[in-house]
Amino acid sequence: MHRALLAAALTALLTSCAAGPREDPRALKNPIPPTPESLANGKRLYDRLCAECHGPTGHGDGETAKKLAAAGAPKSPDLTDDKWDHGSTDGEIFFDIRDGLGSTMKGLNGRPGIGPEEMWHLVNYVRSLGAHASK
């Protein structure tokens, strides 16, 4: 039953992403509960795809972030604090991960092996890092 609901939610999400007007990210609900398995999957993805900039614990102090900051680029956000400039709902975090945030953060949409399910695992893991864990 859980797989059928997840498949339906992912299909609806993919359809809405491919269709015309952009959905309000605040209204997008996470179809994957933050289970230990989801958090472990999210951590593996985070370590591979995000830690270089956001740092191993999400404080925005990764090696690439340090180099970019030294070159005058914007600082990578601290994902553990209580201030999120791009929204803190699951849907807003999902959109940020999927679409990116301009030149300094490329979205994961279209990356081989990264689909909506993987991005939702990342949402669950990022949310677990700090102040937004209980929202």
Average pLDDT over residues 53-64: 93
Residue 110 to residue 128: CA distance in whole angstroms = 25
Return the percentage of the chain with pLDDT > 70, whole number. 80
pTM here is 0.79
pLDDT band at 81 (very low <50, low <70, confident <90, very high): confident
- Residue 42 within a domain: yes
- Residue 21 within a domain: no
Which structural domain range is residue 52 located in?
Answer: 32-128
Asked whether residue 9 carries a pLDDT value surpassing 80, the answer given is no
12 or 126, which is more confident? 126
**Per-residue pLDDT tens digits for 107-117:** 999 999 999 99
CA angle 78, 82, 84 (to 5 degrees): 65
Average pLDDT over residues 6-34: 69
- Residue 117 within a domain: yes
Q: What CATH number does the domain containing 63 carry? A: 1.10.760.10
- Residue 18 within a domain: no
| Residues contacting 87, CB < 8 A, separation 6+ | 25, 26, 93, 95, 96
Among residues 60, 76, 58, which one has the least CA distance to residue 127?
Answer: 58
- Residue 12 within a domain: no
- Residue 50 within a domain: yes
Among residues 75, 82, 44, which one has the least CA distance to residue 60?
Answer: 75
Among residues 132, 30, 16, which one has the least CA distance to residue 82?
Answer: 132
Q: Are 53 and 108 spatial neighbours (Cβ–Cβ below 8 Å)?
A: no
- Residue 96 within a domain: yes
Q: For the chain, how many structural domains are there in total?
A: 1
Asked whether residue 15 carries a pLDDT value surpassing 50, the answer given is no
- Residue 64 within a domain: yes
CA angle 111, 85, 81 (to 5 degrees): 95
